[in-house]
Structure 1
């Protein structure tokens, strides 16, 4: 049987930029983008066209930020999809290459962030598991000094983005991918966990364990639905994607109140295993 032709809109760099402007993306602003390429329709140029369209909408004075997480740099004891034999764990920990912001690929966040990570002039933060990459005149200020024991808290790019009045763009992505909600977890009583990962030193890679705030995206979809009901969220199409745009500071403040009310310690399900390896 012949392959059927694609359906849905033909999306180009120019139509993406026009749709983003119609949604309300402003030249010169800072946008933290979470994206689903598949949701956009048939994109001529794939993720490269998406990044170009985003940069066109933001203009030369705007800054694009994306999560460039590398959850594969994690403790093999937590891997479940698939698991590895326990007899391998110590060897994996001892030989796993340490994080290098110029080399380590993203994992579990989609092809658009990986394209941003490798974009000419892109800068990436130093956290070995939950980095962010940015393109634009304020990129350095956003990604600098990401503390190694603060994945998504006060010493991460999220807090700087909040202070700089950034907005969140969910480009076909759901609220379950909204990293800004995690910043709220650092501002409420939250469990703490030990997190292992490889780090790069002048002598080579070594394994380290740090104590961190436990993070979880459990119920973020429910949180996002309530946030959208109660707070101003711009919603409209970009290509074929249902897209949302809102201030990061609003989302963090709302999430802080919501999580304190709705989440108990008993139902906390951590995201400390990488997304691509969790069952």
Structure 2
């Protein structure tokens, strides 16, 4: 049995729906699998009418991201200016997304893949519903009601956390947005085509409690299995986002 065939069997046994919509967060480190093998296994399980979606986030083009703050913390103002001047502008057709893993970047780069247009939190997708699901991603809305997450929720997508935990579950941000009147906002900045810098207001994203929220989810919502020594978790997006929102509503996550 080839590695790809073994993965196909694993994903089917886990409950990935044929002809469904699947949002995947994955870590391939330690599996020995090439990203293209994993992509092809996922597409095989999803079938001809299924659609594969991954995050294609790009914190590399922002001077307000946590990544930028960490990388520039010890630089002088002159060095910071030079660093930011050299930042690559976001181009949805060619900009890589290494921050979210090899599988996501493989999906993004696959001929025929579709990518949403948000310059920092885009998504990539392959399949007959890719364009529909990724259309209308407001450049001023990271992961809320004007993002692909809301579309995926509406169509009843599944979420696969392949060898990563709920700390990587971007769909929890949709629950976060649904509490938005209670949350502060801040200014985000990033560089886009032609070297133009844009800024916009959006909520203060906070994933610091996502792992804890995942641990509180009813076990009946989860299908779990082990692959290459780490857990893979499959959930229904609607049930998971709704449960996360209930947990978030039960305590004060932050104050403005």
Query: TM (normalized to structure 1)?
Result: 0.84
State the secondary structure of the residue aligned to 1:21: helix
- For the Cα contact (< 8 Å) 2:60–2:88, is it kept in 1? no
Higher relative contact order (CA 8 A, sep 6+): 1
1:237 and 2:233 are equivalent in the alignment:
no
Q: Residue 113 of structure 1: CA displacement?
A: 0.4
Q: Residue 259 of structure 1: CA displacement?
A: 1.3
Number of aligned residue pairs: 251
Q: Which residues in structure 2 correspond to 1:170-189 (within 5 Å)? A: 170-188=161-179, 189=182
Q: CA RMSD in A?
A: 2.0
Q: Distance in 1 between matches of 2:137 and 2:84?
A: 23
Q: 2:235 aligns with which of 238, 241, 246?
A: 246
Cα gap change, 1:11 to 1:262, in 2 (>3 Å): farther
Aligned to 2:42: 54
- For the Cα contact (< 8 Å) 1:72–1:107, is it kept in 2? no
- For the Cα contact (< 8 Å) 2:60–2:87, is it kept in 1? no
Aligned to 1:27: 18
Q: Distance in 1 between matches of 2:37 and 2:100?
A: 18
Q: Residue 145 of structure 1: CA displacement?
A: 1.5
Structure 1: 5+ residue runs without aligned partners? Answer: 1-9, 269-279
Aligned to 1:13: 4
State the secondary structure of the residue aligned to 1:152: coil
Cα gap change, 1:95 to 1:242, in 2 (>3 Å): closer
Q: 1:192 aligns with which of 175, 181, 185?
A: 185
1:221 and 2:214 are equivalent in the alignment:
no
Q: Distance in 2 between matches of 1:246 and 1:86?
A: 46
Q: 2:118 aligns with which of 127, 133, 146?
A: 127
Choose between structure 1 and 2: higher helix proportion: 2
Cα gap change, 1:82 to 1:241, in 2 (>3 Å): same
Structure 2: 5+ residue runs without aligned partners? Answer: none
Q: Distance in 2 between matches of 1:198 and 1:85?
A: 21
- For the Cα contact (< 8 Å) 1:23–1:237, is it kept in 2? no
